[in-house]
Structure 1
Amino acid sequence: MAEQQTAAASGSRKKWYQAVPDPMVLIFIILVATYFLTFIIPAGEFERVTQDGRTVVVPGSFAYLEDVANIPPFNIFVAIPEGLISASQYLFIVFIAGGLFHILQKTGALENAIGVAVNRVGVERRNVIIVVGTFIYGFFGVAVGFENNIALVPIAVLIASAIGCSSLVGTAMAVGGIGIGFALSPINPYTVGVAQGIAELPTFSGAWLRTLLVLSSLALLSLYICKRVVKMEFEEPDNAEALSKPLNEYHLSKRNILTMVVFVGGLVAMLIGVFTRGWYINEIAGTFLLLAIIIGALNGLSANGIVKQMMEGAASVTAGALVIGVAASIQVILEQAVIIDTIVNSLSAMIDGIPSIFSAIMASVVQGIINLFIPSGSGQALVTMPILIPVADLVGMSRQLMITAFQVGDGLTNLIVPTSGGTLAMLALGRVSYAQWLKAIMPFMALVYVLAWVGLVIGHLVGY
């Protein structure tokens, strides 16, 4: 009897990640904590000037402000709709992508294509599929960007289902691969390009260290998914993407093939727009909306039918999409209180006095903290690089290494900070909650940070 009671107590005891509040509650707690910080951290601001069409900070120009009023408590609640408005582009692409992939699921084309492909490769080569998939998504992160790949997450979830894994595995392949690729990309125009412009270095110079870091980190992520994530307990949501029949029963009809040609053609058009015309979230969302209409019509859906399927797909990701807007409210409070520059100035001072061999590690830690308050990579570069490049000169760190430290701190933390709209959007499409994601990814974050820090130290020692 006692043993049964002990077993029951053990079974009813929640694990730490099950005790984590709902993402909405967690982010609201952070929002309230941020509000109280505004009474502790004094308002301050850097002077800014426009150079080559970009607004940059003037180093050494920080000054405290005396005439900034305290924020009324009611603004905590007002900040939420304001955050929803400021993050609207992320919400819309999640809704539209959810609708598009719902239509693709109804046509059966995407499921049939993945089923046929996995059947030919063989489920027994599951680890090979995971490794290849992770590196492919990593390549998209390197070459295309972070938010630009939001809509590709459901494909990885279906691939994971085809090889007998949970949607968590597919989400780890996609979000982890894209995140690592973007974070350590040797050719990232949003972070490396902007930062090297401020540091007066040749664009994308010093790519060898970043290339080694991104390849080794993607290899580490692949190993981590194969050895740990595939074995993790994960309760599939009711609306999770999954294959509907055994692999050997899948085949592609002519309409399926035509549907996939249209879909892949749309992706190619999107990439061309990103690289040649500066497309970003809104243009990509528009592309997916057009694809949804064309694919729906191609598969015999009426106008009303397309709208119905789009609405059903959008409804399935509503909770995850709204989390993005609530998270954006944190930024609203910080901007209203004018304390972002104060935080940046104080954190930047932490690097002074650190032995030069550890300065890059400290710089990455500082940038990781700042990323919680300035989740935009290019925005963070414009704010912090004018301050930290002179700091690098003073402590004997090369400017190139400071930029790589900035990449490590800014990029890697995108995978875990609740203020990263792109990450929350991807989790919404992968049907993985923020708490489940933290449980899965946090051990890997510790490993990849150690790997990146070793790379930074080696970079310093070889005069990078």
Structure 2
Amino acid sequence: MGKKKTGGFRFPSAYTIVALVAVAVWVAAFFIPTGSYAADPDTGRPMPGSYERTDVEIPLGDRLYDLFMAPIHGLYGVQSEETGVVGAYEIGELFGSAGVFLFVLAVGMFITVTMKSGAIDAGLGRVSQKFGNRGIPLIVILMVLFALGGTTMGMAEETLGFYALVVPIILALGYDRLVAASVILFGAGIGTLASTFNPFATGVASDAADISMGEGVTLRAIMLIALTAITIGYVARYATRVKRDPDRSLMGIDPNDEEKVTAVLNLTVRRKIILTLLTLTFAMMIFSIIPWAQILQGPDTDSYVWQLDWYFPELAALFVVMTIVVGLVAGMSEKTLTNNMVSGAGDFISAGLIIILARGVTVIMNNSEITDTVLNALENAIVGAPGWLFGPLMFLLNVPLAFLVPSSSGHATLAMPVLAPLADFAGLDREVVVTAFQSASGWINLFTPTSAVVMGGLALAKVGYGTYLRFIGPLLGILALLIIVFLSLDAFVALP
């Protein structure tokens, strides 16, 4: 038989999309007037209503150089002769995205070495064995665990390794493959949607918005609890219905399905220690970035007794050190440990490259002096709109961006420099924009066909994409409505 012919439209990768955006922005800069805002002397942020046209003539050679150097400037930054940094408020204190890039690689090392130790698989397997004869409690516990993974460390591609364990267990309990896929996809997906300290979404977005990762954590924690509970109820209701009447399954239950539970790793003392180290590492990250003094003593305090004031360089060092500690506790040889570290960095370098390319777009806009012009157009669009509409508008604006750029870190780097200052004009905190962004990104990534996590997970669970869409459709509507309500309440409460 001859080879199967392939053809038709194939959606481009996130790299291609961001590169096309860079070129499109570069071309648009020839036609968009230059202009700037006056910067607030205390914060360095743009002052509402201070925009003025500058009509600067930028030589073609300089424009070509900016396009050519965009990825490099996206990593290292480019210093302005006047301020010494790239934009007084877009980039903040870091030059380019080198700090974020190294942090992403460090997290990749840590997660990979921890996964290679078998501790996470063993821990999940122990939970499954303990509750294996009680279907609904097991579904609840598994989804909560995946949600915690999503909200703290952006668990996405890592979930693909759990299908071999979860699918047989769910089938053995009398449910269908759709339930098995939903436990993983919905659990981790909702956790990522309502990220609290996810370094790839909340961390990158907060950095680009020039705020602390801890700002807005209260709302995101409430969203995490509420949306996770509703999603678990949605899956549990369907699972109960299928078990009572298999004919009501959206995909049917194949009697030939393998129902033997895959053997799980033994939860040894070493693996228990590693799970403890995993928990302590993320707890340390959370503790080090929350502005404790402001939370405990009020926003006007100058005391940082409780605040370590760590940022991406210190966090990167934390994860590198703990990667080595976990590897040693796991008994890995020097060669095995270093190979796993390199492999982990390699697995996550794609997210780092997206961040660099997206930051390059910001540099092009800044050097072409059109960032403030675009910002002014958006400011004029929101002037007069009720404050409680700001969050929902940011969510709706980010939805198409999330579809085009499924990488949450790339989306954040691309959108936040322009969208975050809009909160200043609306009299709101920038964390509203960060929460709206990650909600839109997480919502889209629950079902977009451009996501390797969705399509790969469905393939491993042997669930058709059309069946999955029919099942998730009502839930997507519920989640979108609740997200809009939460964002409206957050903006309303935050109004002066």
Q: TM-score category by the smaller chain?
A: 0.5 to 0.7
Q: Which residue of 1 aligns with 2:66?
A: 75
Residue of structure 1 aligned with 2:115, choices 75, 87, 105: 105
Deviations 1:426-464 (A, max 9, x none): x89x7989xx9xx99997776544434456678999998
SS in 1 for 2:366: helix
Cα shift at 1:64: 1.0
TM-score w.r.t. length of structure 2: 0.61
What secondary structure does 1:72 align onto? helix
Q: 1:57 aligns with which of 40, 46, 64?
A: 46
Structure-2 separation of matches of 1:82 and 1:224? 46
| Kept after mapping to 2: 8 A contact 1:361/1:456 | yes
1:138-287 alignment runs, 5 A limit: 140=151, 149-150=153-154, 156-159=159-162, 161-164=164-167, 170=184, 173-174=187-188, 176-182=190-196, 215-219=225-229, 246-275=261-290, 276-287=307-318
Q: Match of 2:370? A: 339
Query: Counterpart of 1:4?
Result: none
1-side partners of 2:282 and 2:431: how far apart?
30
Match of 1:66 in 2: 55
Report the Cα distance in structure 1 between the residues aligned to 2:493 and 2:335, rounded to whole angstroms.
63
Q: Distance in 2 between matches of 1:411 and 1:365?
A: 12
Answer yes or no: is 1:412 the counterpart of 2:427. Answer: no
CA–CA separation in structure 1 for the residues paired with 2:236 and 2:11? 26
Shift, 1:32, TM fit:
1.0
Q: Aligned partners of 1:135, 1:318: CA distance in 2, in Å?
A: 24
Corresponding position of 2:421: 383
1:95 aligns with 2:71: no
Q: Which moved more, 1:85-94 or 1:290-299?
A: 85-94
How far apart, CA to CA, are the structure 2 residues paired with 1:104 and 1:460? 39
Q: Superposed, which structure 2 residues align to 1:419-438 within 5 Å? A: none
Structure 2: distance between partners of 1:109 and 1:363: 39
After superposition, the C-alpha distances for 1:385-423 in whole angstroms (9 at most, x for unaligned) are 34223xxxxxxxxx6xx98964664443454899xxxxx
Which position in structure 1 is the counterpart of 2:34?
43
Specify whether residues 273 and 211 from structure 1 end up closer, same or farther in structure 2 by C-alpha distance, changes over 3 A only: closer
Report the CA distance between 1:21 and its aligned residue: 0.8
Q: Aligned AA for 1:118? A: S
> What one-letter code is carried by the residue in structure 2 that aligns with 1:55?
G
Alpha-carbon distance between aligned partners in 1 of 2:330 and 2:182, rounded to the nearest angstrom = 30
Q: Deviations over 1:127-165 (max 9, x none)?
A: 424542355357x56xxxxxxx35x55765555553128
Letter in 2 for 1:388: A
Check the 8 A contact 1:168/1:432 in 2, yes or no: no
What is the aligned partner in structure 1 of residue 128 from structure 2? Answer: 118
Identity, in percent, stands at 17
Q: Deviations over 1:51-102 (max 9, x none)?
A: 3xx3232221110112241552343231012213322233323322332333
Q: State the alpha-carbon separation in 1 of the partners of residues 351 and 488 from structure 2.
A: 38
Q: Identify if the C-alpha distance between structure 1 residues 75 and 232 changes in structure 2 by more than 3 Å, giving closer, same or farther.
A: farther
Q: How far apart are residue 45 of structure 1 and its match?
A: 1.0
Distance 1:33 1:72 in 2: 13
Structure 1, unpaired ranges of 5+:
1-7, 142-148, 197-202, 234-244, 390-398, 419-426
For 1:31 and 1:232, locate their aligned partners in 2 and report how far apart those are by CA, in whole Å: 43
The match for 1:324 is 355
Over 3 Å counting, the alpha-carbon distance change for 1:128 and 1:31 in structure 2 is same
Mapped contact 2:190–2:227 kept (Cα < 8 A): no
Paired positions, count: 393
Distance 1:416 1:308, change over 3 A: same
Aligned equivalents of 1:46 and 1:74: distance in 2? 25
Deviation at 1:290, TM superposition (A): 1.0
Of residues 6, 17, 25, the one that matches 1:26 is 17
* Matched residue type, 1:34: V
Quickly say closer, same or farther: Cα 1:43–1:115, change in 2 above 3 A.
same
Q: Which amino acid aligns with 1:105?
A: M
Between Structure 1 and Structure 2, the one with more helix by share is 1
- Whether the aligned pair in 2 keeps the contact of 1:364 and 1:407 (CA below 8 Å) is no
Cα separation, partners in 2 of 1:281 and 1:115, compared to 1, 3 Å: farther
CA drift of 1:35 comes to 1.1
Change (3 A) 1:36 1:373: farther
- Does structure 2 retain, via aligned residues, the 8 Å contact 1:96–1:314? yes
CA distance in 1, matches of 2:220, 2:336: 47
- What residue identity is the alignment partner of 2:111? F
How far apart are 1:311 and its partner, in Å? 1.5
Q: How far apart in 2 are the matches of 1:302 and 1:351?
A: 58
Deviation, 1:177, is 1.5
- Note if contact 2:46-2:421 (Cα within 8 Å) is conserved in structure 1: yes
Residues 157 and 264 of structure 1: CA distance in aligned 2, closer, same or farther (over 3 Å): farther
For 1:292-371, list aligned pairs within 5 A.
Answer: 292-352=323-383, 361-362=392-393, 365=396
Change (3 A) 1:445 1:79: farther
Structure 2, gaps ≥5 residues long: 77-95, 168-176, 239-248, 252-259, 291-306, 403-409, 446-450, 460-465
Measured at CA, do residues 407 and 25 of structure 1 come closer, stay the same or move farther in structure 2, by a change above 3 Å? closer
CA distance in 2, matches of 1:304, 1:174: 32
Distance in 2 (alpha carbons) for counterparts of 1:462 and 1:309: 46
